[in-house]
């Protein structure tokens, strides 16, 4: 799998389930290959520094940094910034779903 990720640089969608203990392994692979981690939430994608299972939102997007996978990829990581604007992507998404 790592050879394919390194060679082809695909975008990966993956469920990260609670109580499975897969977060560290996923982090090791994607971090070593220069991927960004996005938790896909109801209010739009959240750039995350760490991969941690979420009890509500299970889907993640992992994308190579150089491809600019998510428009507005300069969004701040979730955490202290979680309640604030998520940039253009989140704003457009909220407008479409309102």
DSSP secondary structure, 39-69, as one string: EEETTEEEEESS----SS--EEEEEEGGGT-
Domain limits for position 33: 2-97
76's tokens: 């701040």
pLDDT at 68: 65
Torsions phi, psi of 95, nearest 5? -65, -40
71's tokens: 């428009």
Instruction: Tell me the per-residue pLDDT of 45-83, one tens digit each, with 9 for 90 and over.
Output: 899 999 999 989 999 999 998 876 565 544 545 555 444
Whole-model pTM? 0.68
Instruction: Tell me the per-residue pLDDT of 7-59, one tens digit each, with 9 for 90 and over.
Output: 999 999 999 999 899 999 999 999 999 999 999 998 888 999 999 999 899 99
Give me the count of residues in the chain: 98
Return d(Cα 35, Cα 24) in angstroms, integer: 14
Count: domains in the chain:
1
């Amino acid at each position: 799998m790592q050879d394919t990720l390194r060679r082809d640089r695909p975008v990966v969608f993956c469920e990260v389930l609670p109580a499975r203990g897969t977060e560290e392994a996923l982090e090791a692979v994607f971090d070593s290959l220069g991927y960004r981690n996005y938790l896909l939430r109801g209010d739009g994608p959240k750039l995350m520094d760490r991969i941690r299972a979420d009890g509500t939102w299970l889907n993640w997007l992992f994308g190579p940094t150089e491809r600019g996978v998510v428009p507005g990829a300069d969004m701040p990581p979730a955490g202290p910034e979680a309640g604030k604007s998520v940039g253009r992507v989140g704003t457009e998404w909220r407008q479409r779903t309102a």
